[in-house]
């Protein structure tokens, strides 16, 4: 009967030391019989009851020999459970107490309903995983046990890379099914004592109560990334690939408080995402200092937007043969009240992470359009104005209307306005990119792909993008022509652009040897310090008025060649829907 009953039974001596348990008790608690013998039932303590609760329990046992009531306990894996507990004294033939026997039984229907309500408060309804509230409770308990045993406790914060575009492309029902599949797969990478929880959205938390060492947590993180590497097949004929960024924090090394651990784990995750995604990163004190600095910069950025502390500088783009000014690229600067002029590398990433890139991008578009109008009013010859679009601006359904409005307001010819989008931004959601670029082309704006070759573009999508210009990234020009590998890559990009009927601009040109190399490959335009650094609008205006060529001394114009458009005459013309209005763009991530 002891072995067969479905109620969990535990027998202790008078000091509370467990001397026997039945199989049901082991199944209920998650501990083996061998692990329980010699332990005290407080091993299951949930911390849901205060000291007064246990005082009354022992008072009843000592005075009446029995206690019964509802009790919350904790399984070996950290999960909470509630049962009706009855404890009785066991006496010998002389009536002297020798043992206690406790029976854990199911609650009645009313109590079960209360327990179900409790469960909804602690379990994520979509994935069935513990939610953030329950994770915090288990983390708190693990920290207490870790202090006693000397074990390290590891907390991992995982954020899926690129989940939002998938959700937008296939719909929220598909996204929900994908999250369920992700949760099921990630759960297989943990031990029985570990906890996986959904923090919300596409973020998950993993608690390793007995991490042992930092390397153990790193191994688990690597395993989770490997699990995600396999494609997900949620629907027939639809395959999705995911990656993730993981932050790792250790107790007691990195924090003594639950809130601090959670915050530090998220900071480490953001560092992993910023380092290129699909990786994990351990929290460090330097990371904490950096996070504090970024929070300060975020507050200053908000103030700077309100007080219009930003400036636009413009870098010349020149004809590769004769060095004549053909266009300029607008690049944002921050006129910081204490630190002076700051390049975009000091603040753009933070603006992107905090969502401030959207209002900053709008300011850049609007300001660039107005500056183009001022140059025209000053009598400068027409040249192209290129402005960068941030990836988040493509999420704005009113982007094209805004750009058109600013162009109309400033009287700028849309054909002299070019928007640049990085390759990585374009490939974040290719279908949406095609749609948005077609809308921009419809109002007459030119389109350029920036940083080409540095990301993960598909040539099939590149052919579908309505692109006028391909920009060769500066990394391909490094040490050209002496670096044969870079020279080959650079030549290949130029050849590809010509084949697709696009004009080509090479960025980061700094030497006469690079100019000759690019001329030989029939690159159309050049941009770099050799022709001018980014400069304020008045300086750009003086340069445009006083210099017929921006070629440096000693570098003569090249012999004439077949114009780019005639050279590409064999290509069918790109369809540009008829409609007249204009476009815009946002700030740039890397400093020119």
Contact criterion met (CB below 8 Å) for 585 and 360: no
DSSP symbol at 394: G
CATH 3.30.70.270 maps onto the chain at 123-283
**Is the per-residue pLDDT at 455 higher than 70?**
no
**Is the per-residue pLDDT at 579 higher than 80?**
no
Tell me how far apart the alpha carbons of residues 310 and 304 are, in angstroms, rounded to a whole number.
7
| HSE-up of residue 266 (Cα within 13 Å, Cβ side) | 11
**Is the per-residue pLDDT at 237 higher than 90?**
no
Contact criterion met (CB below 8 Å) for 335 and 329: no
Angle between helix 214-229 and 172-187 (nearest 10): 140
Tokens of 314: 């413009």
pLDDT of residue 116: 54
CATH topology of domain 8-120: Beta-Lactamase (3.30.450)
CATH topology of domain 294-567: TIM Barrel (3.20.20)
pLDDT tens digit sequence for 193-224:
788 899 888 999 999 988 777 778 888 888 99
By C-alpha distance, which of 308, 207, 316, 311 is closest to 534? 316
Could you tell me the pTM of the whole model? 0.55
Mean pLDDT of the chain: 83
pLDDT of residue 350: 80
In this structure, the strands spanning 384-388 and 417-422 are parallel
**Rounded to the nearest 5 degrees, what angle is found at the Cα of 9, between the Cα atoms of 4 and 14?**
145
Which residues have C-beta within 8 Å of that of residue 426, sequence separation ≥ 6?
433, 449, 457, 461, 465
Tracing tokens 């993180």 back to the chain, one arrives at 221
**Is the per-residue pLDDT at 18 higher than 90?**
yes
**Is the per-residue pLDDT at 145 higher than 50?**
yes
**Is the per-residue pLDDT at 242 higher than 60?**
yes
pLDDT of residue 289: 59
DSSP symbol at 479: T
Contact criterion met (CB below 8 Å) for 387 and 403: no
**Is the per-residue pLDDT at 166 higher than 50?**
yes
pLDDT tens digit sequence for 500-538:
888 999 999 999 999 999 999 889 999 999 999 999 999
Which of 149-153, 214-218, 234-238, 386-390 shows the lowest mean pLDDT across its residues? 234-238
By C-alpha distance, which of 13, 44, 1, 12 is closest to 26? 44
380-389 core/surface letters (b: 16 or more CB in 10 A; e: else) = eeebbbbbbb
CATH 3.30.450.20 maps onto the chain at 8-120
Which residues have C-beta within 8 Å of that of residue 17, sequence separation ≥ 6?
38, 39, 40
Number of H helices, E strands in the chain: 20, 21
pLDDT tens digit sequence for 355-396:
788 889 899 999 999 999 999 999 898 899 999 988 778 777
pLDDT tens digit sequence for 396-438:
778 888 888 888 988 888 999 999 988 777 777 777 778 888 8
**Secondary structure of the chain: what % helix, strand, coil (to 5)?**
45, 25, 35
pLDDT tens digit sequence for 250-295:
888 887 888 889 988 998 898 888 777 888 888 876 555 565 666 7
Tracing tokens 């046990």 back to the chain, one arrives at 145
Q: What average pLDDT does this structure show over 56-76? A: 86
DSSP symbol at 25: H
Q: How confident is the model at residue 120 (pLDDT cuts 50, 70, 90)?
A: low
**Rounded to the nearest 5 degrees, what angle is found at the Cα of 406, between the Cα atoms of 398 and 545?**
145
Distance between alpha carbon 502 and the CA centroid of its chain, in Å? 32
Residue range 123-283, CATH number: 3.30.70.270
Q: What average pLDDT does this structure show over 469-473? A: 87
* Backbone phi and psi for residue 504, each to the nearest 5 degrees, phi listed first: -130, 130
By C-alpha distance, which of 585, 52, 20 is closest to 330? 585
Tell me how far apart the alpha carbons of residues 404 and 419 are, in angstroms, rounded to a whole number.
12
DSSP symbol at 477: G
Query: Which tops the pLDDT comparison, 243 or 355?
Result: 243
**Between the CA of residue 122 and those of 134, 286, 401, what are the distances in Å?**
5, 34, 45
pLDDT of residue 460: 63
CATH 3.20.20.450 maps onto the chain at 294-567
Strands (E), 373-514: 384-388, 417-422, 446-452, 469-472, 503-506
By C-alpha distance, which of 279, 77, 255 is closest to 155? 255
pLDDT of residue 87: 94
291-304 core/surface letters (b: 16 or more CB in 10 A; e: else) = beebeebbebbeeb
Contact criterion met (CB below 8 Å) for 27 and 3: no
Q: How confident is the model at residue 111 (pLDDT cuts 50, 70, 90)?
A: low
């Amino acid at each position: 009967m002891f072995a067969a009953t479905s109620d969990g039974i535990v027998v202790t001596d008078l000091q509370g030391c467990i001397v026997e348990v039945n199989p049901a008790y082991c199944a209920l608690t998650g501990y083996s019989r061998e692990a329980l013998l010699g332990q005290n039932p407080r091993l299951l303590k949930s911390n849901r009851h205060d000291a007064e609760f246990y005082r009354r329990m022992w008072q009843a046992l000592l005075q009446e020999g029995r206690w019964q009531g509802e009790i919350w306990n904790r399984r070996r894996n950290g999960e909470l459970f509630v049962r009706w507990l009855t404890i009785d004294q066991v006496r010998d033939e002389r009536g002297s107490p020798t043992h206690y026997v406790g029976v854990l039984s199911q609650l009645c229907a009313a109590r079960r309903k209360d327990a179900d309500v409790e469960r909804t408060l602690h379990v994520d309804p979509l994935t069935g995983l513990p939610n953030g509230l329950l994770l915090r409770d288990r983390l708190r308990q693990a920290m207490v046990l870790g202090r006693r045993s000397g074990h390290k406790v590891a907390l991992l914060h995982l954020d899926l890379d690129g989940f939002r575009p998938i959700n937008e492309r296939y719909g929220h029902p598909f996204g929900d099914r994908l999250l369920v599949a992700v949760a099921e797969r990630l759960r297989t990478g943990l031990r029985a004592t570990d906890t996986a929880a959904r923090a919300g959205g596409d973020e998950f938390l993993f608690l390793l109560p007995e991490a042992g060492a930092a390397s153990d947590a790193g191994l688990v993180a690597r395993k989770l990334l490997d699990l995600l590497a396999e494609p997900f097949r949620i629907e027939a004929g639809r395959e999705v690939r995911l990656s993730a960024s993981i932050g790792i924090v250790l107790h007691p090394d990195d924090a003594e408080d639950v809130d601090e651990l959670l915050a530090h784990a998220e900071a480490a995750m953001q560092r992993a995402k910023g380092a290129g995604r699909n990786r994990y990163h351990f929290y460090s004190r330097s990371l904490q200092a950096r996070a504090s600095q970024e929070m300060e910069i975020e507050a200053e950025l908000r103030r700077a937007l309100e007080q219009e502390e930003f400036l636009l500088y413009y870098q010349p783009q020149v004809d590769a043969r004769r060095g004549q000014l053909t266009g300029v690229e607008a690049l944002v600067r921050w006129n910081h009240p204490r630190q002076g002029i700051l390049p975009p590398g000091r603040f753009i990433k933070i603006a992107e992470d905090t969502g401030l890139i959207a209002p900053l991008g709008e300011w850049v578009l609007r300001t660039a359009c107005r500056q183009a109008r001022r140059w025209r009013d000053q009598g400068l010859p027409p040249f192209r104005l290129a402005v960068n679009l941030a990836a988040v601006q493509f999420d704005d359904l009113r982007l094209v209307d805004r750009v058109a409005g600013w162009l109309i307001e400033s009287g700028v010819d849309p054909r002299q306005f070019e928007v640049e989008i990085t390759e990585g931004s374009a490939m974040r959601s290719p279908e949406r990119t095609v749609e948005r670029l077609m809308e921009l082309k419809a109002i007459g704006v030119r389109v350029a792909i920036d940083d080409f070759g540095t990301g993960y573009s598909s040539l099939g999508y590149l052919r579908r993008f309505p692109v006028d210009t391909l920009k060769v990234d500066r990394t391909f020009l490094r040490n050209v022509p002496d670096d044969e590998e870079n020279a080959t890559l650079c030549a290949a990009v130029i050849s590809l652009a010509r084949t697709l009927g696009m004009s080509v601009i090479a960025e980061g040109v700094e030497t006469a040897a690079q100019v000759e190399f690019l001329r030989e490959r029939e690159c159309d335009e050049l941009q770099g310090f050799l022709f001018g650094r980014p400069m304020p609008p008045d300086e750009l205006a003086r340069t445009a008025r006083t210099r017929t060529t921006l070629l440096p001394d000693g570098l003569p114009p090249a012999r004439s060649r077949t114009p780019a458009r005639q050279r590409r005459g064999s290509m069918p013309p790109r369809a540009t829907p008829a409609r007249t209005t204009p476009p815009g763009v946002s700030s740039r991530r890397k400093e020119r």
